[in-house]
Chains A and B, each alone.
Chain A
Amino acid sequence: MSEHGRSDPAPQRSTNGFDIDPYYDGPPSSASATAPPPGTYPFTRGFNDEGYRERVWGMEMYAGFGDPEQANRRYRLLLENGATGGVSIALDLPTQIGYDSDHPMAAGEVGRSGVALDTFSDVERLFEGVDLSEAGHVFTTANSIAPVAYAWVYLYCQRHGVDPASFTLQIQNDPIKEYVARGTQFLPVEAAVRLAADVVLFSHENTPRWLPISVSGSHMKQAGASPALEAAFTIANAITYMTEVEKRGLPLSEFNPTLELHFCTEMDLFDEIAKYRAVRRAWSEIARTRFGVPDDRMAFRLHAATSGAPLTMQQPTNNIARITLQVLAQVLGGIDAGRTASWDEALAIPSESAAITSLRVNQIIAHESGVRNTVDPLGGSYYIESLTQQTYDVIMREVEKIDEMGGSIAAVYNGYIGTRLADGAYDQQLALEKEERYVVGVNRQVQDDEVKPPRFKIDESSEQRKIEQLKAVRASRDDSAVRTALLELERVCRADENVMTAVVAAVAADATIGEICDVWRAVFGEFTGGFQRA
């Protein structure tokens, strides 16, 4: 070693705040810590001994911008380049918040952080030339608007002769976290959860292969949660949703195989690998003890995305190294599928070439690194098992604490979750500024950039074009059919019936997303606040 003895202390503290030993020479002292083999309860090491030996994790490239034609071109490019994760649709903010593209609140935001969708014909344009069965999966971050997004794809299958069993639709459909970490809510929490459950129940009955909910921690992590808290709060929310659907007749023992838990992966390799293992263990134990799920229904879908938070504007090509480590961490954690950010994404939507590079990162790890040759390769590592145990302990302790508050919705209302996130974010910022945490290019190896990445530019005319398309749909549809459909939607909302049949009918009559969401605003009351402490 030729460092000339220069002192450069490592932070020696995990991102969870766990103390780290100089070395580990044995398994964790807790008797329950020895992880049984993959396929054995509580499945810390995985749900089977197959892992990636026969199938690779799904490589999902989240994309969307402008109007449906523009987004469509990007999806086709990604599919051609190996996006086995299918069509992964980023929706613009007006769409996500249930505003039509010509709503005053949408001005300047249409097609900016995702694709703008207003009516069913937009979805047809979005999928032009894409064989959904071949693509295998469709994903969208529809949360507050999940019933509409589901209805769009459901109707698409009907009108275009696609067998819903030939692919999976995955809808994020997790409104609770919006109130503390993402901010697209527009209804009171209870109403939003009721609608989320409507989607789950309808999907389970009509499209049982689809994944109608992806309970997500990734946004809470990016809002400041540590990996362990990310896992804990996600699981607390999953308990809330699954309790709700069970009350309405769908037990977890039936639904669990189509439940998705979604997380993000940041930079501490080991904290993240341990987290994914701890999640499998914690959720399996909760599924068994609280919900009576038998072992053969334990395999839920474990999903991840590489977090955008560590990506830097400074020296952006460094982000390729970051993305590589993040993907490596999540596959060593054993995810089923993962989204990957792109190296130029700190400042803009990914360019085509950057998005392809992210696919290549996944493909290189899959095909060149040997990581697929055995299941849970780091299982048995004393460090990993110790971190897994500690993370699991935090999860179970926080879930119990949240139970005592009355569940995760109560923990949102009383500010507990929001405060933990805000504290975490502030602590991280101070640690960065005090150099207790390093980011290369930001507080180490800072230098002027010669390299400016090709910045992807939104086509500024797409907002106006989208508005014209929307007006054309409004002009050509049968207004009385729309009115009838919206009245029926209002009726089922007030009657506490599942809204999905009415939403599908509304979408089929070319009701706009704004019109549908306005029914909910009228019935349930509009609520746009959070429970956040600044």
Chain B
Amino acid sequence: MVRTPTPEAVTHASSRPHIRAIVAKPGLDGHDRGAKVVSRGLRDAGVEVIYTGLRQTPEAIATIAIQEDADVICLSILSGAHLSACRRLAEALAKHDAASIPVIVGGIIPDDDIEALAAAGVHAVFQPGARLPDIVEAVRRAAGGQS
């Protein structure tokens, strides 16, 4: 399936009036405080946020991101399942020719796993203690870097 731009999209994502971000909860983890705080923080910074709600498969998140013509995907994972979730998301995006959508991950992620996440295509990782301005900045950078 080829990624089809919506009518409002223009040739370069950064020339759109605002960034469209997916905030997603992959897998079975049901703690969504972080996802909701980040969603609100992004919205307050002028980012358009589509929050997927709980218990999404990585494949579903990829589909939502493509259908919504998202500029960036933000995953919130607290269950320790981040490596498999990110790898599956990367596979799903690639399969639909959407590997250019950057992925940012936040949650309970130990330092040891950051390299493996980068290898799975993750642009930025946020750990406990992360601040909203830094997350907003990472989202802007990731979205702006999209070609």
Residue ID in chain B nearest A458 by CB atoms:
B80
Q: Per-position contact with A for B71-104: 1 when CB-CB < 8 Å, else 0?
A: 0000000011101110000000000000000000
Q: Is B125 an interface residue when CB atoms closer than 8 A count as contact? A: no
Question: Which one of B30, B83, B129 has the highest number of Cβ atoms from chain A below 10 Å of its Cβ?
Answer: B30
Q: Per-position contact with A for B11-49: 1 when CB-CB < 8 Å, else 0?
A: 000000000000100011111110111011100000001
A224 and B33 in contact, given A93-B79, A94-B28 (Cβ under 8 angstroms): yes
Q: Per-position contact with B for A64-107: 1 when CB-CB < 8 Å, else 0?
A: 00000000000000000000000000000110010100000111
Question: Which one of A107, A108, A222 has the highest number of Cβ atoms from chain B below 10 Å of its Cβ?
Answer: A108
- The interface stretch among A176-184, A375-383, A386-394 is A176-184
Residue from A112, A222, A532, A534 in contact with B79 in the complex, judged by beta carbons closer than 8 Å: A112
A112 touches B80 (CB 8 A): yes
A534 and B30 in contact, given A112-B81, A433-B131 (Cβ under 8 angstroms): no
**Min CB–CB distance B86 → chain A (angstroms):** 10
A184 touches B30 (CB 8 A): yes
Please indicate the chain B residues that have their CB under 8 angstroms from the CB of A528 in the complex: 54-55
B127 touches A313 (CB 8 A): yes
Residue ID in chain B nearest A418 by CB atoms:
B36
A348 touches B37 (CB 8 A): no
Please indicate the chain B residues that have their CB under 8 angstroms from the CB of A430 in the complex: 132
Please measure, in the bound complex, the distance between the C-alpha atom of A530 and the C-alpha atom of B36, giving whole angstroms.
13
Residue from A222, A421, A441, A529 in contact with B53 in the complex, judged by beta carbons closer than 8 Å: A529
Residue ID in chain B nearest A529 by CB atoms:
B53
Residue from A185, A313, A534 in contact with B49 in the complex, judged by beta carbons closer than 8 Å: A534
Q: Is B133 an interface residue when CB atoms closer than 8 A count as contact? A: yes
**Min CB–CB distance A258 → chain B (angstroms):** 27
Please indicate the chain A residues that have their CB under 8 angstroms from the CB of B112 in the complex: 455
Please measure, in the bound complex, the distance between the C-alpha atom of A442 and the C-alpha atom of B54, giving whole angstroms.
28
**Min CB–CB distance B103 → chain A (angstroms):** 16
How many residue pairs between the two chains, A and B, have CB atoms under 8 Å in the bound complex? 109
B28 touches A105 (CB 8 A): yes
Please indicate the chain A residues that have their CB under 8 angstroms from the CB of B84 in the complex: 107-108
Residue from B40, B57, B108 in contact with A347 in the complex, judged by beta carbons closer than 8 Å: B108
B79 touches A530 (CB 8 A): no
Please indicate the chain A residues that have their CB under 8 angstroms from the CB of B132 in the complex: 429-430, 433
A109 touches B40 (CB 8 A): no
Please indicate the chain B residues that have their CB under 8 angstroms from the CB of A422 in the complex: 33, 36-37, 40
Please indicate the chain B residues that have their CB under 8 angstroms from the CB of A105 in the complex: 27-28, 55, 57
Please measure, in the bound complex, the distance between the C-alpha atom of A105 and the C-alpha atom of B54, giving whole angstroms.
13
Q: Is B128 an interface residue when CB atoms closer than 8 A count as contact? A: yes
Please indicate the chain A residues that have their CB under 8 angstroms from the CB of B41 in the complex: 426, 429
B36 touches A108 (CB 8 A): no
Query: Does more than half of chain B's interface fall in helix, strand or loop, or is it mixed?
Result: loop
Residue from A106, A178, A455, A534 in contact with B36 in the complex, judged by beta carbons closer than 8 Å: A534
B129 touches A313 (CB 8 A): yes
A109 touches B27 (CB 8 A): yes
Residue ID in chain B nearest A422 by CB atoms:
B36
Q: Is B5 an interface residue when CB atoms closer than 8 A count as contact? A: no
Please measure, in the bound complex, the distance between the C-alpha atom of A231 and the C-alpha atom of B54, giving whole angstroms.
26
Residue from A108, A113, A185, A441 in contact with B85 in the complex, judged by beta carbons closer than 8 Å: A108
Please indicate the chain B residues that have their CB under 8 angstroms from the CB of A178 in the complex: 30
Q: In the complex, how many residues of chain A place their beta carbon closer than 8 angstroms to a beta carbon of chain B?
A: 44
Please measure, in the bound complex, the distance between the C-alpha atom of A532 and the C-alpha atom of B85, giving whole angstroms.
23
Residue from A94, A108, A222, A534 in contact with B39 in the complex, judged by beta carbons closer than 8 Å: A534
Residue from B30, B35, B81, B127 in contact with A108 in the complex, judged by beta carbons closer than 8 Å: B81
Please indicate the chain A residues that have their CB under 8 angstroms from the CB of B39 in the complex: 534
Please indicate the chain B residues that have their CB under 8 angstroms from the CB of A99 in the complex: 28
A534 touches B23 (CB 8 A): yes
B128 touches A425 (CB 8 A): no
Q: Per-position contact with A for B123-147: 1 when CB-CB < 8 Å, else 0?
A: 0000111011100000000000000
Please indicate the chain A residues that have their CB under 8 angstroms from the CB of B53 in the complex: 529-530, 532
A425 and B55 in contact, given A178-B30, A433-B131, A534-B49 (Cβ under 8 angstroms): no
Residue ID in chain B nearest A428 by CB atoms:
B37
Please indicate the chain A residues that have their CB under 8 angstroms from the CB of B133 in the complex: 433
Q: Is A284 an interface residue when CB atoms closer than 8 A count as contact? A: no
**Min CB–CB distance B64 → chain A (angstroms):** 14
B79 touches A109 (CB 8 A): yes
Please indicate the chain B residues that have their CB under 8 angstroms from the CB of A326 in the complex: none
Q: Is A223 an interface residue when CB atoms closer than 8 A count as contact? A: yes
Residue from B29, B40, B49, B127 in contact with A93 in the complex, judged by beta carbons closer than 8 Å: B29
Residue from A183, A223, A348 in contact with B29 in the complex, judged by beta carbons closer than 8 Å: A183
Please measure, in the bound complex, the distance between the C-alpha atom of A313 and the C-alpha atom of B33, giving whole angstroms.
17
Please indicate the chain A residues that have their CB under 8 angstroms from the CB of B85 in the complex: 108
Please indicate the chain A residues that have their CB under 8 angstroms from the CB of B83 in the complex: 108
Please measure, in the bound complex, the distance between the C-alpha atom of A188 and the C-alpha atom of B13, giving whole angstroms.
40
Please indicate the chain B residues that have their CB under 8 angstroms from the CB of A365 in the complex: none
Q: Is A191 an interface residue when CB atoms closer than 8 A count as contact? A: no
Residue ID in chain B nearest A184 by CB atoms:
B30
Q: Per-position contact with B for A182-215: 1 when CB-CB < 8 Å, else 0?
A: 1111000000000000000000000000000000
The 7 closest A-B pairs by CB, nearest first: A183-B30, A108-B84, A93-B28, A534-B51, A534-B39, A313-B128, A112-B80
A-B contact list, 29 entries, CB within 8 Å: A93-B79, A94-B28, A106-B28, A109-B27, A113-B80, A183-B30, A184-B28, A185-B30, A224-B33, A312-B129, A313-B127, A346-B108, A346-B128, A347-B110, A347-B128, A348-B110, A425-B33, A425-B36, A429-B41, A430-B132, A433-B132, A441-B129, A452-B111, A528-B54, A528-B55, A529-B53, A533-B36, A534-B36, A534-B40
Not counting A313-B129, A455-B112, a sample of 17 additional A-B residue pairs whose C-beta atoms are within 8 angstroms of each other reads A94-B28, A105-B57, A106-B28, A108-B83, A108-B84, A109-B27, A109-B79, A222-B33, A223-B32, A314-B128, A347-B108, A426-B37, A426-B41, A439-B129, A441-B129, A530-B54, A534-B51
Q: Chain B: residues with CB nearer than 8 A to chain A?
A: 23, 27-33, 35-37, 39-41, 49, 51, 53-55, 57, 79-81, 83-85, 108-112, 127-129, 131-133
